[in-house]
C-alpha cells in the first residue's frame, strides 16, 4: 500500500494543471472573432438590447474580472450559464456526457480485444503467415483516415446490409450498444493497430528474454511461459501507450460524433464553438481535461500494480 | 560407475544470411551421477551453446545438426518431442545462469518462481509448494526465507538472486545441474559463497554438475574432470588435476599461463604459451608527487519525492567516497581493489573530474592554465565497446582529441594517429573500422590509444580487462605494463581481481564502503594482510586448490 501513496498527492498536484487549462481556454475562446450575443440575437438586434444581454451574462466586465468570476463560481461548483441553451452549463453537459463516455469505453474494449488477439497471434507465429497478415492489417488500419472509414462502414453495413443504424444513439442499453457499434469500431480500427504493433513487439522481446528462457529450463511449456511470464511483462509498455492514446481518443470523438450524429460532448463542443458560447466551451474543455487527468492517474495505478519495481 | 549423461558427436550450426556456419563440432563427453565436469573456454568457444543444446534451449538461429545426448532413463534428448522435453527440464536437468538479475522474472514474487514447477508439474497444492519454497530458500542459505519467499527479485542483492535461482532450479530435485558461468557477475567474496553452496548441494543431493566457466581456477577448485573448448571443439579433456599439472594442448597451456596468479610480479603475462618475460624496470619517481588526494569525499543525494519536499524532510546523502587520501609519483603504479559499491570507480571519476567532490582536495602538480586536468589525467573504461562512439571509426576516434585540443596541425594528424595505433599494437588496416567491427581486445586498445593521444602523465584504468577473456586480458595488461615503462606513466589500476593488481602494481589500496581499509606495498598486503576484510577477499580467490600442488607451470621458465 506504501507504493500507492501517490494517490493522495497526485490529485493535489493536478490542481495547477487544471487551473492552467481554464486560463488557456478562457483566453483562446475570447480571442476568436465574433460575439455570442450577436449570434444569439441575430443581425437586426438593437444596440441597447445587445448591451442589456451582455450585461446579463457579465460580458461587459473587463476580462480579468470575468475570469475571476468564472473561478469563483467554479469553486462553488457552478460552471455558469450557457448563452445558447439558456440553461446551466452543468446540466447541458450532463445530458450529453453518457453517449461520449459510452463511445470511448466501447471503442476501448473493442481496441483491447482486437489488439490482444492479433498481437498474441502474431507473436506466437513470428515470421510466419499469420504474423505477416496481422502486420499488413496494422499498416492498413494506420493508413486509413477515421472519418472516411466511418462513412465506408455506414455505406456497407448500414445502407447495404441494414445490420446497424446509420446514426443516433438509441433508447435502451441494448439500443445504445447497437447504435454505437459502428462508431466504436471506426475508432478501434484506428487505435488497435498502434496497440497491436507495440504489444507484438514487446511480446516477442519478452519471449526471448532471459527469464523466459530460465522458466523453460525449469520445465514450463511454451504456453505456460507465455501466460505466466511473457504476458505480465509485456503489458506494461502497452498500458502506458494506451494511456497516451486515450487522451487523443477523447479529442477524436469530436469527428466521430459528427460523422455518426451522436448526441455527445464532441458534437456539443463543435456547436458551442460555432455559437461562441463561451461558458459552454469552457465547461466542456474542463470536463475533457478532468477526464485526461483521471486516465493518467488510472495508468499510473495500473503501472504500479503491474510492476513491483515502480515507485511513484 | 553409474553413468548419467553421454554426449556424442554434437554439432551445432548457426543460420546466417550466407548459409549455415559451424559453431560446435564433434563435442562428446560422459558424466557420472554426482560428478562435476568443468567446461572451460573463452567467449565464442561454444561452451554455452553446448550446454543449451543439452536441454534444447538454443537461440532460434541455431540448429543441432548432428549428435546424440543420452540421459539415463530418458533416452536421446535431441530426438525427443517438445512435450517429453518439458518432463526432463527442471525434473532431471536444471540450469542456472550467469546473470541472475535478468534470468528472474521481475514481476513475479521469488516464491512463486520457485514453486511454479512444483505446482504445474508435480501437482502440489499452493500452500504445500509455498512451504517447500521456504525450505529451499533456507537450504540455499537465505537468511530470512519466510520473508524472502514473498519478495520481488529487485529487492534482493545479486548474490541472493543467484541463491534464489539455485533454489528454483533444485525445486524438482534434478539429477544434473548445468551452471552457466554462475558467478561471473558476482563479487569475489559472493562468488566464493555460491561455489561453497554448490559444493554442499552436490553432497546433500547427489547432484551432478556441469560448470561452464572461463575461469580455469574456479573449475580447478570445483570439478573432478575438465574439458577445454576452443572454436567449437573440445581440445583437451581429462582429470582436472592432471590437466592443470601437465597440459598437452598448446591452447590449454596458454589458458593456464594467462592465469594472473601464476605470473611472477615484474613480468609480462605469457602470451601463446611462451614463458613469462621480465618486464622493463620502471624508474619510480619517489620524489615530488604528481597527484595528491587528501580527505576526498564524494556524496550522492538520494532521490527526493514530492512528499519529502512537502514535509520538508532533509535530503539524504550517500557517501560513495569517504575521506580517501593518497599520493602518486611519476612512474608509480597504484592498485585500487574493492568489491562493487566500494567507491573505487567514483574515486577514479572524481580524479578525472567526471564527478564533483563534496569535500577534500585533489592536487595535480603543474599549472592548471598551462596544461588542464584532462591533458594530465586520462581514463580507460571497463566496457571497451560502450566507451567508444559507435558512429566514429578508429581513426576518427583518435583524431578527435587531437583536433579539439589543438595538439597538432591538420597535416600531422594522420601520422599522429598512425603512431598511436602502432604504439598500442593496432593493425593500421583497422583505421577505418567502427567499434562494432572490432573485437573486445581491439576496442580496449583503441580506448587506450585515445587516452594516450593527450599524452597524460597519469593513466587511470577502471577495470580495463574485466569484460575480456583471460588470454586477451593478458595482452591488454602487458600493453599497460609496457606503456607505463616506455612513457613513465603513473598508473592507477582499479580492479576487483587481486591477482591482477598484485602483478601490475607495487602499491595497493583496499577499499570498502567508500573507505580505505588497508594500504601498503602489494607484496606485504598479499603476504600479511592486516585488515579482516582484506583477508576475506584473499581467501575468496578461486584456485587455492587446483593450482596448489607443485611449482606453477609458468614459473618454470623464469630464472
Q: Do A217 and B55 touch (CB under 8 A)?
A: yes
Tens of pLDDT, residue by residue over B153-192, are 999 988 899 999 999 999 999 999 999 999 887 888 888 8
The residue of chain B nearest to residue A206, with distances taken between CA atoms, is B105
- Domains of chain A are 96-274 (1.10.3720.10)
Contact in structure between B241 and B232 (CB atoms under 8 Å): no
Once rounded to an integer, what is the mean pLDDT over residues A38-56? 83
Q: Do B102 and A233 touch (CB under 8 A)?
A: no
pLDDT at B307: 65
pLDDT at B283: 63
Return the beta strands (E) in A93-207 as ranges. none
pLDDT at B285: 58
Answer yes or no: is pLDDT of B276 > 70: no
Which one has a higher pLDDT value, B365 or B117? B117
Question: How far, rounded to the nearest angstrom, does the alpha carbon of residue A103 sit from its chain's CA centroid?
Answer: 9
**B contact test, residue of A125, A218, A225, A308 with most B CBs within 10 A:** A218
Q: Which helix (H) or strand (E) holds B445?
A: helix B440-452
Once rounded to an integer, what is the mean pLDDT over residues B428-442? 91
Share of chain B above pLDDT 70, in %: 92
Query: How far away is chain A from the Cα of B107, in angstroms, using its nearest Cα?
Result: 6
Other Cβ atoms less than 10 A from the Cβ of B218: the count is 24
Q: Residue A32's pLDDT band (boundaries 50, 70, 90)?
A: confident
pLDDT at A18: 87
Answer yes or no: is pLDDT of B557 > 50: no
Q: Do A214 and B154 touch (CB under 8 A)?
A: no
**A contact test, residue of B103, B156, B166, B172 with most A CBs within 10 A:** B103
d(CA B521, CA B68): 54
Q: Residue A62's pLDDT band (boundaries 50, 70, 90)?
A: confident
d(CA A72, CA B204): 76
Mean pLDDT of the residues in chain A: 87
**A contact test, residue of B100, B103, B105, B156 with most A CBs within 10 A:** B105
Tens of pLDDT, residue by residue over B314-342, are 777 888 899 999 999 888 899 999 888 88
- A59: phi then psi, degrees, rounded to nearest 5: -85, -5
Task: Give residues 77 to 116 of B whose Cβ lies within 8 Å of A.
Answer: 82-83, 86-91, 94-95, 97, 99, 102-108, 113, 116
Q: Helix %, strand %, coil % for chain A, to 5? A: 80, 0, 20
The segment with the largest mean pLDDT, out of A161-175, B253-267, B435-449, is: B435-449
**Closest CA relative to residue B95, chosen from B150, B165, B34, B147:** B165
pLDDT at B1: 56
Question: How far, rounded to the nearest angstrom, does the alpha carbon of residue B390 sit from its chain's CA centroid?
Answer: 23
Put simply, whether B304 touches A (Cβ < 8 Å) is: no
Tell me how many residue pairs between chain A and chain B have CB atoms under 8 A apart: 89
Answer yes or no: is pLDDT of B546 > 60: no
Once rounded to an integer, what is the mean pLDDT over residues A181-185? 87
Residues of chain B positioned with their CB less than 8 A from the CB of A232: 105, 107-108
Residues of chain B positioned with their CB less than 8 A from the CB of A209: 102
pLDDT at B284: 63
Query: How far away is chain B from the Cα of A302, in angstroms, using its nearest Cα?
Result: 13
pLDDT at B373: 80
- A9: phi then psi, degrees, rounded to nearest 5: -90, -30
Residues of chain A positioned with their CB less than 8 A from the CB of B169: 217-218
Put simply, whether B55 touches A (Cβ < 8 Å) is: yes
Q: Residue B558's pLDDT band (boundaries 50, 70, 90)?
A: very low
Instruction: List the end-to-end C-alpha distance of chain B, in Å, as a whole number.
Output: 45
Following CA atoms A291, A292, A297, A299 in sequence, which dihedral angle do they give, to the nearest 10 degrees?
Answer: 120
Q: Do A308 and B171 touch (CB under 8 A)?
A: no
Answer yes or no: is pLDDT of B433 > 80: yes
Answer yes or no: is pLDDT of A294 > 70: yes
* For chain B, counts of helices (H) and of strands (E): 21, 19
The residue of chain B nearest to residue A232, with distances taken between CA atoms, is B107
Q: Residue A83's pLDDT band (boundaries 50, 70, 90)?
A: confident
d(CA B330, CA B221): 40
**Closest CA relative to residue A220, chosen from B559, B528, B171:** B171
Residues of chain A positioned with their CB less than 8 A from the CB of B306: 9, 13
Q: Do B99 and A210 touch (CB under 8 A)?
A: yes
The residue of chain A nearest to residue B114, with distances taken between CA atoms, is A218
Contact in structure between B130 and B111 (CB atoms under 8 Å): yes
Q: Residue B432's pLDDT band (boundaries 50, 70, 90)?
A: very high
pLDDT at B287: 64
Q: Do B86 and A307 touch (CB under 8 A)?
A: no
Once rounded to an integer, what is the mean pLDDT over residues B404-412? 85
Q: Which helix (H) or strand (E) holds B367?
A: none
- Counting Cα atoms < 13 Å in the Cβ hemisphere of A67 gives 15
Q: Do A219 and B89 touch (CB under 8 A)?
A: yes
Once rounded to an integer, what is the mean pLDDT over residues B479-491? 90
ipTM of the modeled complex:
0.80
pLDDT at B217: 84
pLDDT at B128: 93
Its sign, for the CA torsion B328, B330, B332, B338, is positive
Q: Residue B277's pLDDT band (boundaries 50, 70, 90)?
A: confident
Q: What grid cell was written down for A228?
A: 505466466
Nearest to B168 among A5, A218, A309 (CB): A218
pLDDT at A197: 93
d(CA A147, CA A151): 6
pLDDT at A277: 85
pLDDT at A75: 86
Put simply, whether B117 touches A (Cβ < 8 Å) is: yes
Contact in structure between B76 and B70 (CB atoms under 8 Å): yes
Q: Residue A63's pLDDT band (boundaries 50, 70, 90)?
A: confident
Q: Residue B556's pLDDT band (boundaries 50, 70, 90)?
A: very low
Mean pLDDT of the residues in chain B: 87
Put simply, whether B310 touches A (Cβ < 8 Å) is: yes
**A contact test, residue of B56, B107, B180 with most A CBs within 10 A:** B107
**Closest CA relative to residue B162, chosen from B197, B131, B133:** B197
Once rounded to an integer, what is the mean pLDDT over residues B396-417? 90
**Closest CA relative to residue A238, chosen from A151, A62, A116:** A116
- What is the reported pTM? 0.81
**B contact test, residue of A17, A211, A300 with most B CBs within 10 A:** A211
Mean pLDDT lowest among A28-42, B117-131, B381-395 = A28-42
d(CA A177, CA A164): 10
Other Cβ atoms less than 10 A from the Cβ of A260: the count is 27
Once rounded to an integer, what is the mean pLDDT over residues A38-67? 84
User: What is the SS3 assignment for A59?
Assistant: coil
The segment with the largest mean pLDDT, out of A159-163, A181-185, B110-114, is: B110-114
Q: Residue A183's pLDDT band (boundaries 50, 70, 90)?
A: confident
Residues of chain A positioned with their CB less than 8 A from the CB of B87: 219
Q: Do B95 and A214 touch (CB under 8 A)?
A: yes
Mean pLDDT lowest among B53-57, B135-139, B305-309 = B305-309
Q: Do A219 and B88 touch (CB under 8 A)?
A: yes
Q: Do A210 and B55 touch (CB under 8 A)?
A: no
Query: How far away is chain A from the Cα of B95, in angstroms, using its nearest Cα?
Result: 6
Answer yes or no: is pLDDT of A143 > 60: yes
Which one has a higher pLDDT value, A174 or A201? A201
Tens of pLDDT, residue by residue over A267-293, are 898 888 888 888 888 889 888 888 888
d(CA A145, CA A141): 8
Q: Residue B67's pLDDT band (boundaries 50, 70, 90)?
A: very high
Q: Which helix (H) or strand (E) holds A64?
A: helix A63-75
Q: Residue B517's pLDDT band (boundaries 50, 70, 90)?
A: very high
Contact in structure between B465 and B444 (CB atoms under 8 Å): yes
Q: Residue A262's pLDDT band (boundaries 50, 70, 90)?
A: confident
pLDDT at B548: 43
Q: What is the largest CA-CA distance in chain B?
A: 77
Answer yes or no: is pLDDT of B536 > 60: yes
Once rounded to an integer, what is the mean pLDDT over residues B532-552? 67
Which one has a higher pLDDT value, B368 or B259? B259
Residues of A with CB under 8 A from a CB of B: 5, 9, 13, 208-211, 213-222, 224, 228-229, 232-233, 306-309
Task: Give B111-115's long-range contacts (Cβ < 8 A, gap of 24+).
Answer: B111/B137, B111/B148, B111/B149, B111/B150, B113/A215, B113/B164, B113/B168, B114/B149, B114/B164, B114/B167, B114/B168, B114/B171, B115/B171
Amino acid at each position: 500500500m506504501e507504493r500507492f501513496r501517490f494517490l493522495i498527492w497526485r490529485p493535489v498536484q493536478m490542481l495547477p494543471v487544471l487551473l492552467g487549462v481554464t486560463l488557456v481556454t478562457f483566453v483562446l475562446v475570447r480571442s476568436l472573432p465574433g460575439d455570442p450575443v450577436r449570434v444569439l440575437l441575430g443581425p437586426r438586434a438593437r444596440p441597447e438590447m445587445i448591451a442589456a444581454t451582455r450585461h446579463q451574462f457579465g460580458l461587459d466586465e473587463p476580462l480579468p474580472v470575468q475570469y475571476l468570476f468564472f473561478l469563483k463560481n467554479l469553486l462553488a461548483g457552478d460552471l455558469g450559464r450557457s448563452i445558447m441553451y439558456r440553461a446551466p452549463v452543468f446540466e447541458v453537459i450532463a445530458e450529453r456526457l453518457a453517449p461520449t463516455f459510452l463511445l470511448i469505453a466501447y471503442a476501448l474494449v473493442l481496441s483491447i480485444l482486437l489488439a490482444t488477439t492479433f498481437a498474441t497471434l502474431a507473436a506466437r507465429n513470428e515470421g510466419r503467415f499469420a504474423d505477416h497478415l496481422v502486420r499488413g492489417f496494422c499498416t492498413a488500419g494506420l493508413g486509413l483516415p477515421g472519418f472516411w472509414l466511418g462513412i465506408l462502414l455506414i455505406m456497407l453495413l448500414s445502407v447495404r446490409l441494414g445490420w446497424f443504424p446509420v446514426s443516433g444513439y438509441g433508447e435502451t442499453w441494448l439500443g445504445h450498444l447497437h447504435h454505437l457499434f459502428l462508431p466504436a469500431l471506426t475508432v478501434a480500427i484506428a487505435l488497435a493497430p498502434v496497440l497491436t504493433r507495440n504489444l507484438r513487439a514487446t511480446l516477442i522481446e519478452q519471449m526471448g528474454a532471459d527469464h523466459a528462457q530460465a522458466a523453460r529450463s525449469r520445465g514450463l511449456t511454451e504456453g505456460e511461459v507465455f501466460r505466466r511470464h511473457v504476458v505480465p511483462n509485456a503489458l506494461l509498455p502497452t498500458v502506458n501507450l494506451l494511456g497516451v492514446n486515450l487522451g487523443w481518443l477523447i479529442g477524436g470523438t469530436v469527428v466521430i460524433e459528427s460523422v455518426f450524429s451522436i448526441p455527445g460532448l464532441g458534437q456539443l463542443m463543435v456547436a458551442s464553438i460555432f455559437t461562441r458560447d463561451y461558458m459552454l466551451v469552457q465547461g466542456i474543455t474542463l470536463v475533457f481535461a478532468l477526464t485526461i487527468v483521471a486516465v493518467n492517474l488510472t495508468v499510473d495505478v495500473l503501472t504500479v500494480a503491474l510492476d513491483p519495481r515502480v515507485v511513484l | 560407475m553409474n553413468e548419467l549423461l553421454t554426449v556424442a558427436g554434437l554439432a551445432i550450426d548457426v543460420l546466417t544470411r550466407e548459409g549455415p556456419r559451424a559453431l560446435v563440432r564433434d563435442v562428446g563427453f560422459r558424466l557420472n551421477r554426482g560428478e562435476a565436469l568443468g567446461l572451460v573456454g573463452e567467449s565464442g568457444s561454444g561452451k554455452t551453446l553446448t550446454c543449451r543444446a543439452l536441454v534444447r534451449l538454443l537461440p532460434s538461429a541455431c540448429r543441432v545438426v548432428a549428435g546424440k545426448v543420452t540421459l539415463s532413463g530418458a533416452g536421446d534428448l535431441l530426438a525427443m518431442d517438445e512435450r517429453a522435453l518439458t518432463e526432463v527440464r527442471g525434473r532431471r536437468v536444471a540450469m542456472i545462469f550467469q546473470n541472475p538479475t535478468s534470468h528472474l522474472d521481475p514481476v513475479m514474487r521469488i516464491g512463486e518462481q520457485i514453486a511454479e514447477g512444483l505446482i504445474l508439474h508435480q501437482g502440489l497444492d499452493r500452500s504445500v509448494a509455498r512451504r517447500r519454497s521456504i525450505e529451499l530458500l533456507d537450504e540455499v542459505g537465505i537468511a530470512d526465507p519466510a520473508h524472502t519467499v514473498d519478495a520481488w527479485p529487485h529487492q534482493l542483492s545479486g548474490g541472493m538472486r543467484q541463491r534464489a535461482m539455485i533454489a528454483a532450479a533444485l525445486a524438482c530435485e534434478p539429477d544434473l545441474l548445468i551452471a552457466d558461468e554462475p558467478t561471473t557477475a558476482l563479487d569475489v567474496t559472493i562468488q566464493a559463497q555460491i561455489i561453497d553452496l554448490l559444493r554442499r548441494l552436490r553432497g546433500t543431493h547427489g547432484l551432478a554438475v556441469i560448470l561452464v566457466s572461463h575461469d580455469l581456477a574456479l573449475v580447478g577448485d570445483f570439478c573432478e574432470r575438465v574439458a577445454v573448448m576452443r572454436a567449437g571443439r573440445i581440445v583437451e579433456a581429462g582429470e582436472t588435476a592432471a590437466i592443470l599439472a601437465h597440459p598437452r594442448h598448446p591452447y590449454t597451456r596458454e589458458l593456464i599461463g594467462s592465469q594472473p596468479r601464476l605470473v611472477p610480479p615484474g613480468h609480462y603475462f605469457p602470451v601463446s604459451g611462451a614463458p613469462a618475460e621480465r618486464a622493463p624496470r620502471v624508474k619510480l619517481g619517489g620524489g615530488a608527487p604528481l597527484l595528491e588526494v587528501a580527505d576526498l569525499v564524494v556524496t550522492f543525494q538520494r532521490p527526493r519525492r514530492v512528499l519529502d519536499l512537502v514535509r520538508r524532510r532533509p535530503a539524504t546523502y550517500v557517501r560513495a567516497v569517504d575521506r580517501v587520501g593518497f599520493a602518486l609519483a611519476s612512474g608509480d603504479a597504484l592498485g585500487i581493489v574493492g568489491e562493487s559499491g566500494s567507491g573505487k570507480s567514483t574515486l577514479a571519476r572524481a580524479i578525472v573530474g567526471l564527478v564533483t567532490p563534496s569535500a577534500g582536495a585533489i592536487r595535480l602538480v603543474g599549472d592548471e592554465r598551462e596544461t588542464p586536468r584532462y591533458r594530465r589525467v586520462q581514463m580507460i573504461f571497463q566496457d571497451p565497446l560502450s566507451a567508444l562512439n559507435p558512429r566514429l571509426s578508429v581513426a576518427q576516434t583518435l583524431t578527435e582529441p587531437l583536433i579539439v585540443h589543438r595538439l597538432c596541425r591538420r597535416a600531422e594528424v594522420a601520422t599522429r594517429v598512425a603512431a598511436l595505433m602502432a604504439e598500442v599494437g593496432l593493425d593500421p588496416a583497422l583505421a577505418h573500422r567502427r567499434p562494432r567491427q572490432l573485437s573486445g581486445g581491439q576496442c580496449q586498445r583503441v580506448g587506450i590509444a585515445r587516452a594516450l593521444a593527450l599524452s597524460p602523465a597519469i593513466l587511470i584504468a577502471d577495470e580495463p580487462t574485466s569484460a575480456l577473456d583471460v588470454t586477451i586480458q593478458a595482452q591488454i595488461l602487458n600493453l599497460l605494463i609496457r606503456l607505463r615503462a616506455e612513457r613513465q606513466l603513473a598508473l592507477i589500476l582499479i580492479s576487483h581481481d587481486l591477482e591482477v593488481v598484485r602483478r601490475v602494481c607495487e602499491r595497493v589500496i583496499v577499499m570498502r564502503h567508500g573507505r580505505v581499509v588497508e594500504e601498503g606495498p602489494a607484496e606485504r598486503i598479499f603476504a600479511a594482510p592486516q585488515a579482516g576484510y582484506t583477508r576475506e577477499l584473499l581467501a575468496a580467490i578461486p584456485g587455492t586448490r587446483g593450482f596448489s600442488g607443485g611449482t606453477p607451470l609458468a614459473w618454470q621458465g623464469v630464472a
